[in-house]
Amino acid sequence: MDMIAVDLDGTLLNSKNQISSKNVEAIREAQGEGVEVVIATGRAEFDVRRLISGLKLNTWIIAANGATIHRPDGSLFYSVPMEQKDVHQILAWLEEENFYYEAIDDHSILTPLNGKELLQIELDRIKSANPKADIGQLEKAIEKQFSQHGFLHVDSYKEIVDADQKIYNILAFSFDKDKLKKGWEKFHSNPDLTLVSSADHNFEMEHRWASKGLAVEKLAAKLNLSLEKTAVIGDSLNDLSMISMAGYSAAMGNAKEQVKEASRFLTRTNDEDGVAHAIRHFLTT
C-alpha cells in the first residue's frame, strides 16, 4: 500500500467531533510501514490543523474538497481557486435567497453576520409546521457547523467580492429540502463548477478542476505513488470522486448507500473506529 486518503467528517471524526485514540494509532502504524496517510476533507486546511493539533499527526491535507493541498509542514503545495465571476454570481444568489453560506479563503471561513438567525428562522418554521417535530438532530447539525475554526463575519457578500481574495469553496446550508433542490438546479449545469454534497443539509461548489479525486491523483503524481496502490476511506457523496480514482476503497458503516455501493470494502461506523479497522484491513491486503 502506497497511500491512504481519509475523509474527516463522518469518517475520521466520530459523532462527538473527535478523533479516537484507536484511529490515531492506526494512522501512525500505517505511517510506520511507509504508507503516506492523507486527510481529504471539505473543511478549510487551517481548521483541520486545529483539529489534529496535539495528536502528533504529520500528514498532507487535501482541503476545500480538493481545491487546496498542503504539505505536512503546513505550506501550500497546490491550489485551484474559483473564478471571481462565479464567486460573485453564487454569493449574490445565495444571499438573495436567504441561504446560510460559508466561503473559504486562505485564512478564514467567510459567513454572513446574520447566519445563525437565518438557520433559526428555518428551525422555527419547521416547529411551526409540525409542533411535534424532533429538531434535536437539526440543532446538532447547526452545532457541528459552528464548531469549525476561523470564522469571519461579513455584513454582505459584497465585502467578499470587493476584497478580491482567492475563494476555494462555497458551502450553502439549509434545512429546507425545496430550497436545497432549487440551489442544486441553479448551479448544476454551470460548466465552470464542481458541485457536490457532503451532508444532508448542504451543497458545495468549487472550481471545475477541483475535487477530492483530482487532488488525490495530483498528490500521487507528486509523490511518485501508485493510484492502484492507493486506498481511500469515506462516507459522503463528495468522497465518490476519490473512490473512483483509487485501487482500494472503504465505505464507513454510516456511509451513504451510494458510497457503500461504490466501495470495495465496508468498514465499521465512525463511532466504532471504522478508520482504524479499514487501515488495518488495507495493511494486510
> What is the distance between the alpha carbons of residues 263 and 285, in angstroms, rounded to a whole number?
15
With contact defined as beta carbons under 8 Å apart, do 97 and 162 qualify?
no
> What is the distance between the alpha carbons of residues 63 and 27, in angstroms, rounded to a whole number?
18
Cell numbers for 259, please give them.
458510497
> What is the distance between the alpha carbons of residues 173 and 164, in angstroms, rounded to a whole number?
23
> What is the distance between the alpha carbons of residues 160 and 107, in angstroms, rounded to a whole number?
13
Q: What are phi and psi of 240, to 5 degrees?
A: -60, -35
> What is the distance between the alpha carbons of residues 109 and 90, in angstroms, rounded to a whole number?
16
Taking alpha carbons only, the member of 232, 230, 276, 270 closest to residue 252 is 270
Across the strands, what pairs with 69? 62, 78
With contact defined as beta carbons under 8 Å apart, do 15 and 271 qualify?
yes
Cell numbers for 170, please give them.
462555497
Q: Within 10 Å of residue 117's Cβ, how many Cβ atoms?
A: 11
Q: Which residues are catalytic?
A: 7
**Sequence letter at residue 75:** S
Q: What are phi and psi of 270, to 5 degrees?
A: -70, -15
CA–CA distance from 18 to each of 1, 144, 218, 271 (Å)?
A: 26, 11, 28, 10
> What is the distance between the alpha carbons of residues 38 and 6, in angstroms, rounded to a whole number?
6
